[in-house]
Amino acid sequence: MSTKTYIGQPLKRVDARGKVTGETQFLTDISVDNMIYSAPVYSKVPFGIITSIDSSLAQSSKGFIKFITANDIPGENQVGVITYDQPLFADKTVRYIGDSIGVIVADSPTRAFEIAKLIRVKYTELDPIFTIEKSQSVTTGFIHENNISCQHKVIRGNVEIGFANADKIVEAEFTTPEQEHYYLEPQACIVTPLESGDVRILGSLQCPFYVQKAVSKVLGIPFNKVIVEQAPTGGAFGGKEDVPSEICARVALAAVITKRPVKMVYGREDDIQLTSKRHPFKMKYKVGVTNNGIITAAEVKLEENSGAYSTLSSVVSYRSAVQAMGPYVVPNVNIQSISYYTNLPPNGAFRGFGSPQAAFGHERIMDIVAEKIGIDSFSFRKLNIIKPNDKTITGQCLKSSVGAMETLEKSYHASDWGNSPLPQNEDRIKTGYGIALTHYGNCLGAAGWFMDGSAVKITLHRDGSITVSYGLVEMGQGALTVVTQMTAEAFGIAPSRIQINPTSTEYVADSGPAVASRNVIMTGQAIINATENLLPEIKLAASKLMDCPLQNIVIENDRVINSAGNTHCSFEELTEYMYQLNYRMETTGWWHVPDLNFNPEDGNGEAYFSYSFATHLAKVKVDTLTGLVKVQKIWAAHDVGTAINPAGIEGQVEGGISQGIGWAVTENLKYDNGLVQNQNLSTYLLPTANDISDVEVIIIEESEPQGPWGAKGIGEPAIIPTGAAIANAVSNAIGQQVNQLPISPEYVLDLLNHSKGK
């Protein structure tokens, strides 16, 4: 596989036509015979004990079919993904506005949502907790047994000695906010009960095997009776990782009880109030450094607002801890990462899983330290950046595919920042530049190693076409295209021969969640494994068909070649021959990440088997009269190992940067007593085309030995350094330290007014 035919080509997206023309059917477009509808009934108080539920008005309403609560669950009332702290339906305590109490089933979606409003629930209200500070301070009235959702640490070397060897010690505190996913398609599913006792689920989701497990537990039936298929999904970004398990389990219960297909599609306001967000972080950094710019020690405290339930907090806490000092060599560290329960909607998976927050911390402190010791931010990073055979903060030695330095240098030189005359910044418009880096651990890492495997199933048809089933999903990121390219490359055939099945638990083994930038690595390696299983059979058949030695058979450029006799046949001639003679024409492939030697007690060892590296360099303009920040351009250099589809990578980076700009500048989720205040696009300000910067994507290929064709992940690194780079650029522009997001006009003006008052 040293020469590549289809890998590295900007293959047109295989799902593009349907999505552009509107032919692709999403769940709102889909219905089945005899279908009825459901709507959520949820808590309207942030914290309380349920004292009574009155459904009499609902039951007398036209179109009412059923009101389903915790009393109707035949299995276990539990949908927690990692920590079993989240009931499917609250049977006693409600912990946030949006906590599920039941579902209404009715004969139309409009009636279902209207009838849901008629359920009368009474509570004994408890004192709600909304902030990390209050969650830490209470001694009674805990949200669960206590208020700690999870915690992780990394302790290596001796920070006291490290600080003693430093010439300067720099401290700073940072905060980052929630972020709403705002996928264009809200949460939705259709569940059909089958005569066999099975349930068939069609959902807008990114983790079908999570849903299978949750529904099996709630219904009390085996996994093999729960069939989960992913419908075309209109965006996810992590917001459809664990949340669909709740929704699908509730609708599956309704379908089993009513013995009819049931559909539920959230309204936008319900979706925002009920579903998970990006974790807000509080961060305290203390860094020791020598006068010549070498970091000697770092002490970091990360505190996360988990919301009412843990959901994916454990993963966020783990990832932010092991990446808390970025791609730099720091011999002595003490890092503590703790998530706290509050009475807000649960905070869970969101593109980057805690890495954007950690990057904001470590890249802001890098700029602050550089300023304190009088070294420019680029040179300071070069002095400390991780290189081949250096160790991460967990003590993991990175021997290959370490492109951090190249991403830093190429983005810096592309921007021409170092050679450009500094702007005079004498008028109201100030210009600034900022750098931010990341090292992103690919796949699930040591904390999720046990489920970090993935499967494919590949079938050859007699006409030369191929069907591929795989265990991860297409959710807008271009997975169908790269799976097609990798299959074509592995077999030496044209991409046009390949059809990818919708992801279904019916076709392949549990492949874990479609998260953590796993798709290319996991599916690509599984395809290679499948090829190794089937290609010898194909070549054996070819040698018989062409009457030549097996070693002479080469399949490439969609032809079957006898390399010695310079003869060839078509691939479809070969597959027809195989069919006629009963050769095996189907195989499975499987790949699991390598063993990781990691000690969770002190956070030392191999946190991930491979890392993607990136540098984003931002140029901003700040209007000091209005406080408005305009991101003009971002130079984004990414070490992707090998670019499977360069055009797809550029799209991922541009999309990630757009999302990062929103988090950094425009998006500002507001709560009032636990109720989301900006529940639609008129008040929750997603970045528009006017807010998005010019983006220059620089692809760097430091081949990863354990990646397929040398590839690494790109989906999450695309967003991670963006917020930090913008904050560093604004700090550079106005001469004040930006230590929180979002960088609203009010915040900028406060910083400027504070500087004038000094």
Closest CA to 484 of 13, 24, 155, 2: 13
Question: Which helix H or strand E contains 527, and what residues bound it?
Answer: helix 519-546
Q: What is the pLDDT of residues 559-569, one digit of tens each?
A: 999 998 778 99
Measured between its terminal Cα atoms, the distance across the chain in Å is 64
3-state DSSP: the chain helix, strand, coil percent, rounded to 5?
30, 25, 40
The C-alpha R_g of the chain, in whole angstroms, comes to 27
Closest CA to 205 of 181, 228, 180: 228
Most distant CA atoms of the chain, gap in Å: 89
Say how far apart CA 135 and CA 282 lie, in whole Å. Answer: 13
Mean pLDDT, rounded, for 121-141: 97
| The pLDDT value given to residue 252 | 98
Indicate the burial class of 740 (C-beta count within 10 angstroms; 0-12, 13-18, 19 or more): middle
In the block, residue with structure tokens 């058949």: 541
Sheet holding 48-54, edge to edge: 93-94, 48-54, 120-125
Cβ(129)–Cβ(341) below 8 Å: yes
Q: Is the pLDDT of residue 547 over 80?
A: yes
Q: Is the pLDDT of residue 326 over 60?
A: yes
φ, ψ dihedrals at 751, nearest 5°: -60, -45
| The pLDDT value given to residue 558 | 95
- 3 state SS of 333: strand
Tell me the CA distances in angstroms from 361 to 277, 433, 502, 723, one per residue in order: 19, 18, 39, 10
| The pLDDT value given to residue 421 | 65
Contacts of 262 (CB under 8 A, 6+ apart): 35, 36, 37, 38, 105, 190, 191, 251, 254, 255
| The pLDDT value given to residue 2 | 55
DSSP 260: S
Mean pLDDT, rounded, for 698-723: 97
The token pair that represents 26 in the structure block: 């999403």
Q: Hey, CA dihedral for 656, 352, 244, 341, is it positive or negative?
A: negative
Q: Cα 45 to the chain's mean position, in Å?
A: 30
Q: Is the pLDDT of residue 1 over 70?
A: no
Say how far apart CA 31 and CA 16 lie, in whole Å. Answer: 23
- 3 state SS of 135: helix
Mean pLDDT, rounded, for 113-134: 98
- Whether residue 346 has a cis bond before it, omega within 30° of 0: no
Q: What is the pLDDT of residues 635-648, one digit of tens each?
A: 999 999 999 999 99
Q: What is the pLDDT of residues 250-295, one digit of tens each?
A: 999 999 999 999 999 999 999 999 999 999 999 999 999 999 999 9
Q: Is the pLDDT of residue 422 over 70?
A: no
| The pLDDT value given to residue 419 | 82
Mean pLDDT, rounded, for 447-456: 95
Indicate the burial class of 387 (C-beta count within 10 angstroms; 0-12, 13-18, 19 or more): exposed
Average pLDDT taken over every residue of the chain: 96
Indicate the burial class of 714 (C-beta count within 10 angstroms; 0-12, 13-18, 19 or more): buried
Q: Cα 729 to the chain's mean position, in Å?
A: 26
Domains of the chain by range and CATH?
16-22+453-592 (3.30.365.10), 31-126+187-265 (3.90.1170.50), 281-446+599-757 (3.30.365.10)
Q: Is the pLDDT of residue 425 over 90?
A: no
Mean pLDDT, rounded, for 191-214: 97
Say how far apart CA 520 and CA 593 lie, in whole Å. Answer: 13
Mean pLDDT, rounded, for 109-136: 98
Going by pLDDT thresholds of 50, 70 and 90, the confidence category of residue 429 is very high
Q: Is the pLDDT of residue 758 over 60?
A: no
Tell me the CA distances in angstroms from 583 to 457, 458, 461, 463, 542, one per residue in order: 17, 14, 11, 14, 11
Q: Is the pLDDT of residue 523 over 90?
A: yes
Mean pLDDT, rounded, for 412-435: 85
Highest average pLDDT, of 18-22, 635-639, 680-684, comes from 635-639
Indicate the burial class of 76 (C-beta count within 10 angstroms; 0-12, 13-18, 19 or more): middle
- List the beta bridge partners of residue 434: 618
Tell me the CA distances in angstroms from 654 to 363, 409, 740, one per residue in order: 21, 20, 23
Q: Is the pLDDT of residue 455 over 70?
A: yes
Mean pLDDT, rounded, for 421-432: 78
Q: Hey, CA dihedral for 372, 378, 379, 382, is it positive or negative?
A: positive
Tell me the CA distances in angstroms from 253 to 88, 193, 196, 218, one per residue in order: 11, 10, 16, 8
DSSP 34: T
Q: Is the pLDDT of residue 724 over 60?
A: yes
Contacts of 758 (CB under 8 A, 6+ apart): none
Cβ(697)–Cβ(502) below 8 Å: no
DSSP 341-404: E-SSSPB---TTTTHHHHHHHHHHHHHHHHHHHT--HHHHHHHHB--TTEE-TT--EE-S---H
Mean pLDDT, rounded, for 386-390: 98
Mean pLDDT, rounded, for 54-81: 98
| The pLDDT value given to residue 423 | 59
Cβ(326)–Cβ(362) below 8 Å: yes
pTM score over 0.75: yes
